[in-house]
Amino acid sequence: MAETALTDHGEPAARAAGWRGIAADWSSDQRAFKNVSWGKAMMWIFLLSDTFIFSCFLLSYMTARMSTTVPWPNPSEVFALNIGGTHIPLILIAIMTFILISSSGTMAMAVNFGYRRDRVKTATLMLVTAAFGATFVGMQAFEWTKLIMEGVRPWENPWGAAQFGSSFFMITGFHGTHVTIGVIFLIAIARKVWRGDFDVERRGFFTSRKGHYEIVEITGLYWHFVDLVWVFIFAFFYLW
């Protein structure tokens, strides 16, 4: 007669419930993580941790905005531009958002061509994505310069609540740093793709197995995450 497998506490394994049961199910699965590379798994873990950081920033911003007794500046007025004598609210932010969302499309196409081993199109689309990202950072620098010249500081601003300045520089600065790092990484990987490093398995940083363009997908995961975070920043900071 076959013996029934028991858990550490003497329970039948089939009856294990809660987190112990979930852990038992996942640990017994021979396929869940077998095809996941080390690089891709580490990127997902990094993005998960980064999600917590951005969530804390946005929650802190919402808490500060709802708890302050001083009027909060109107984003439509603060981030407006005068073009040809016309006062256009949020025009710069709208263009920045369009550019960053468009870059997700070019990055997705780069990943697609990467798995087809079309190195010329992959590298070209990655460089186009990097150009979109650099344009976004440049426009963000212009936005920062404009607000600083108008008197916005991390500890004060001329339109109301002092927390506005610290929230703005912290959230957009942290995101802009992510975009800048992404642009540098895109250029570095695009150069390796263009040279054919992944076809000849040339030794060096971020070079995968011969014929594998997985690093392009890993770069795409990071870039799509940066774009997704901007959607939340745009909604909570600029539209609220």
Residues 146-164 pLDDT 10s: 999 988 888 888 888 888 9
Cα dihedral 206, 171, 130, 108, rounded to 10, equals 80
E strands in the chain: 81-83, 86-88
Q: What is the pLDDT of residue 25?
A: 62
Q: Which residue in this structure is represented by tokens 């793709």?
A: 193
Measured distance CA(100)–CA(139) in Å, rounded = 11
User: pLDDT tens digits for 102-157?
Assistant: 999 999 999 999 888 888 999 999 999 999 999 999 999 999 999 999 888 888 88
In the chain, ranges of CATH 1.20.120.80 domains: 38-238
> 162 near 155, Cβ under 8 Å?
yes
Q: Which residue in this structure is represented by tokens 């590298």?
A: 123
The region of weakest confidence among 7-21, 74-88, 165-179, 190-204 is: 7-21
Tell which residue, 178, 187, 186, has the closest CA to residue 220. Answer: 186
Burial status of residue 94 (CB atoms within 10 A of its CB: 0-12, 13-18, 19 or more): middle
Q: Which residue in this structure is represented by tokens 């398995």?
A: 201
pTM given for the model: 0.81
Measured distance CA(41)–CA(51) in Å, rounded = 15
**Which tokens go with 131?**
């150009």
CATH architecture of the region 38-238: Up-down Bundle (1.20)
Q: What is the pLDDT of residue 101?
A: 94
